[in-house]
Amino acid sequence: MQKTINKKGNLIERPPIIVIMGHIDHGKSTLLDYIRKTNIVDMEVGGITQHIGAYEVIHQKEGKSQKITFLDTPGHESFKAIRSRGARVADIGILVVSAEDAVMPQTQEAIKIFNEEKMPFIVAINKIDKPQANIEKTKQSLAKNDVYLEGYGGHISWVAISAKTGVGIPELLDLILLTAELEELKADPEADAEGVIIESHLDTRKGIVATAIITNGTLKKGGFAVCGKSFSPLRMLEDFRGQNIDSATFSSPVRIIGWDSVPEVGSQIKIFSSKPDSLQAISESKSEKKPEKVPEKNERAKIPIVIKADTTGSLDALLYEIEKLANEKIEAKITLTGLGPISENDIRTAESNSAIVIAFNTETQKQAQSLSERLGIKINTFNIIYKMTEWLQDELKARTPTVLQEEVTGKAKILKFFSSTKDKQIVGGKVESGKISVNEPVKIWRRETEIGMGRIRELQMQKNKTSTVEEGNEFGAKIESKIEIASGDKIESFIIVNK
């Protein structure tokens, strides 16, 4: 989402919105946990809601309390889902790099995202408390990936930290606020609220709940929120602690409760003062013609999957990972998705499609468990995305259909016909390419035309029996075939392989 330009001149400074990225196990979650535990006031009141997706911290800089909003997403995949719908949420990125491992594949992916977004970012070199930590090596690794740090040939700010002990984290928060000042982040508190959905889930007590980041203006109770085809009256609002609030302004995460359907992550919020206007907007959204899908020329085998997750952020990340597992022969076909526990309907859907059932970070209803056991349908439960990906990759590989194909092993020219007894013929020849072996089937060619089949029963080289004759060598052979072989014919040996 682009920065709002306000003609009335009501723009004031707003807190920065931060996204943290990096390779798995480099300490993103540990860093977020440390910041959250040490910089959120009144932690004991309400606690931190499990699915808030973002939270605000207070950092003291030069005696002044300043807010920072952190996105707490499942990772690059969820962030990609937001970006794919044209939304710009974060202002500044934090690239976490382990001082032990330096740049890894997901580090490179994060760098690519920051560059594509033209987003300023700060490098946090983490795990400096580890015995194998090597800050200089990490700087060199970053430079090889075109990330040049201050004092190392570039201008990108960095700080050495330990997310475990807290060393360097106050300096990191100082750097965030300094970068925010340079970015001159502004917003208008008097404008109609604008925001982006970053998370949504089904609460068994409250119904459908969505978390939004307000990017401009002020969101107030009363009125109606629309996100694509989803609608909610603005009656129940909560802050990131789960406490009831009457309004939320820019850079703040807010939970909107009471949607009629689950809003898509990355959807932009539109606020209407009247219900008829909001329903009209939804009607127009539904009537928009979708582009027709062009069928693939070579259809791949499809493996049906039923998948339920705890939040839309998790679901988007899972679907992104599953899509990447497709190859030229097979792909996953998502038969049913949803939020919340595995239900009887999910199991019946899986039965009718012979589908794989995946439950991510969610439970299974008792009736559904009983039904799955009766029908012999396994419910595969995961709470770590890469564990699910590894398991599903093996599962898809096991279900990949194989095709029997001929693979040529050698070609030879028949130089002389000696004799024949019934269907066994004695010939002499020379291997032109590859090799020929005893008991291999052969195709018999005459003047570029295949005239029949046979099988090598014996081979000799210089009157000695052998099992294989290599390229360039002459041989004698006993070939079993109903086709009469003549001088000048060619034979082509082959094997049958699964591909």
Domains of the chain: 12-187 (3.40.50.300), 194-285 (2.40.30.10), 301-399 (3.40.50.10050), 404-498 (2.40.30.10)
Q: Own/partner pairs for 231-237, CB < 8 Å, 24+ apart?
A: 231/259, 231/260, 231/261, 231/278, 231/279, 231/282, 232/208, 232/256, 232/257, 232/258, 232/259, 232/260, 233/258, 233/275, 234/271, 236/206
User: Which among 177, 141, 171 is positioned nearest to 26, based on CA atoms?
Assistant: 141
pLDDT at position 393: 87
Query: Under a CB-based contact definition with an 8 Å cutoff, are residues 334 and 305 in contact?
Result: yes
* Beta sheet of 194-203, edge-to-edge order: 230-233, 224-227, 268-272, 194-203, 207-216, 253-259, 236-238, 244-245
Per-residue tens of pLDDT for the chain, all 499 residues: 334 334 445 889 999 999 888 887 888 888 988 988 877 654 433 334 345 578 888 898 878 889 999 987 655 555 666 655 545 788 999 999 999 999 998 889 889 888 888 899 999 999 999 999 999 999 999 999 999 999 888 999 999 999 999 999 999 999 999 999 999 999 999 888 889 888 888 877 888 889 899 999 999 998 899 988 899 999 999 988 888 999 999 899 999 999 988 888 788 898 988 888 888 888 877 665 454 444 444 567 788 999 999 888 788 888 888 888 887 778 888 989 988 899 998 998 898 888 999 999 999 999 999 999 999 999 999 988 888 888 988 888 887 777 778 889 999 999 999 998 888 999 999 999 999 999 999 999 998 899 999 999 999 998 899 999 999 999 999 999 989 999 999 999 999 887 6
Count other Cβ atoms within 10 Å, centred on residue 408.
12
Span between the terminal Cα atoms of the chain, in Å: 47
Structure tokens at 394: 């093996």
Structure tokens at 84: 């794919």
Half-sphere exposure of 48 (CA within 13 A, CB side): 19
pLDDT at position 32: 87
Q: What is the pTM of this model?
A: 0.65
Query: Under a CB-based contact definition with an 8 Å cutoff, are residues 156 and 147 in contact?
Result: yes
Query: Under a CB-based contact definition with an 8 Å cutoff, are residues 200 and 208 in contact?
Result: yes
